[in-house]
Structure 1
Amino acid sequence: MRADTSTSPIPVTPTGLSRRAERFIEVNGIHVPHQSVRHHRDAWIGHGVPAAEVDRATDFQERWGGLALPPAPFYEGGRRILGADCPEGSAAGGWSFPAGTCRVSMAYGFMIGPEGAFGLDAHRWTPLHASTDGWVESLALADHAGRCAKTVTKITGEAVQSLELREYEPIPEVLGVTDTWWRGKDSLIALSRGEAVGLEAPQCLEAHVYGGLDAWGLHGG
């Protein structure tokens, strides 16, 4: 039987996202031609990759493969195009696979971890969001907040630790692990800890405070 080397059809917007994220993909996303990874299955298994890990990478490719989104506010813009590649075993146990191509040369890569988290492969594995859905929700929220806020304040390094969040509530749809979003009375806060944790570089802590938001700007989804 001949291997399937054809490109996948242009996908529809993935299901299960918030309406905000759906609109973000529909308006800002571009689906570029991409190959299925199914034709790599036998070769990857032959190199010792468990079949279940090949299936995980295949499922990711079918849901997200070929989706190009606008730059993220952190991580030098993040992924350029989402897409799976060959799973890799780690010395600490478990398997991960690359999540797509970078926009620029970086000291780390973006991976999908053993439990499905979207994160950084740097000095150590650092999950940013519990799934790729959370990463995309975060991008959509950043786009929305950037358009609706009257002010955007960037805070870096030790000053991030002094942010007072007791009157804020976490935004659940971003599925935050190391990176989180918070909603206050008239502002949103995005906290990025991934580089600080993954590179063991506390000076890389960063937060963006989006101020002057009305009810639509706070929720908008």
Structure 2
Amino acid sequence: MADNPVSPVPVAPAGLSRRAQRFIETEGIRVHRQDIRPHHDAWIEHGIPAAEIERATAFQDRWGGLALPTAPFYEGGPRVLDADCPEETPAEGWSFPAGDCRVSMAYSFMIGPDGAFGIDAYRWTPLHASTDGWVESLALAAHAQRWAETITRIKGKAVESLDLNGFEPVPEVQGVTDTWWRGRDSLIALYRGEAVGLDAPQCLEAHAYNGLDEWGLHGG
């Protein structure tokens, strides 16, 4: 595939929170992204619908070549956001890769039929309703790690006992299987994706960020 030269300093796509924009522009790196347009005709010949190729192309135009700091879960997330050839599964429909894993893993990162960002393991498991939501979650995690007085990691069955009374969901992360919750002086990230996708309840994990002031809770 041909590479498109771009500036290594990324410009954040439109529509993100100010926090996510700052995160991309100060912590991200834009590498040479692959141009998937030359493969359009060959993919059509292999039976891939034009609409699915257009979805992958739109993803690549918005996110392709963006390398972000490691995620606090999922072994860091994709090394670089990068679309590739769409593929079909009978149960879920058409999806396409969102980028290679940083290490060898039991699942891959995919963009699902409805645009959700998720993992494909034993089953397709959407984590966030869009890639925007995934990036917002990374930005929020980096922000919370910086400003929290304490960070507590909760694993396995203990996650199911978390009391979220008085907490409200954080809408910008567009949580599906994974969600963020905001309380009076704390943020909680619930990572359910591996537990659901791998049918492994022991993989449930939550990160509680405590001792946050108004800036630490919102900050963008």
> TM-score surpassing 0.5?
yes
Alignment map for 1:23-102 (pairs within 5 Å): 23-102=22-101
2:144, 2:2 → 1: CA distance?
Answer: 41
Separation in 1, partners of 2:178, 2:136: 12
How far apart are the structure 2 equivalents of 1:100 and 1:119? 11
Any residues of structure 2 matched to 1:1-221 within 5 Å, and which? 5-10=2-7, 12-221=11-220
Question: 1:102 is aligned with what amino acid?
Answer: C
- Post-superposition Cα deviations, 1:178-217, rounded to whole Å, max 9, x if no partner, equal 0000000100000000000000000000000000001110
Residue 12 of structure 1 and its aligned partner are, at CA, apart by 2.6
Poorly superposed stretches of 4+, deviation over 3 Å? 8-11
- Counterpart AA for 1:18: S
TM-score, L = length of structure 1: 0.96
Indicate conservation of the 8 Å contact 1:127/1:177, yes or no: yes
How many residues get paired? Answer: 218
Cα distance in 2 between the residues matched to 1:140 and 1:61: 20
Answer with 76-85 or 7-16: which moved more: 7-16
* Distance across 2 between alignment mates of 1:82 and 1:114: 17
Residues 12/48 of structure 1: CA separation in 2 closer, same or farther (3 Å cut):
same
Secondary structure, in 3 states, of the residue corresponding to 1:89? strand
> What percentage of residue pairs aligned between the two structures are identical?
73
Change (3 A) 1:107 1:93: closer
Instruction: Give me the TM-score of the superposition, normalised by structure 2.
Output: 0.97
SS at match of 2:194: helix
Which structure 1 segments of 5+ residues have no match?
Answer: none
Contact 1:8 1:35 (C-alpha < 8 Å) held by counterparts: no
- Counterpart-to-counterpart distance in 2, 1:42 and 1:62: 18
Q: CA RMSD in A?
A: 1.1
Alpha-carbon spacing, 1:93–1:215, altered in 2? closer, same or farther (3 Å): closer
Inter-partner Cα distance in structure 2 for 1:5 and 1:140? 30
Q: Which runs of 5+ in 2 are unaligned?
A: none
Contact 2:6 2:31 in 1 (8 A): no
Which residue identity lines up with residue 100 of structure 1 in the other structure?
G
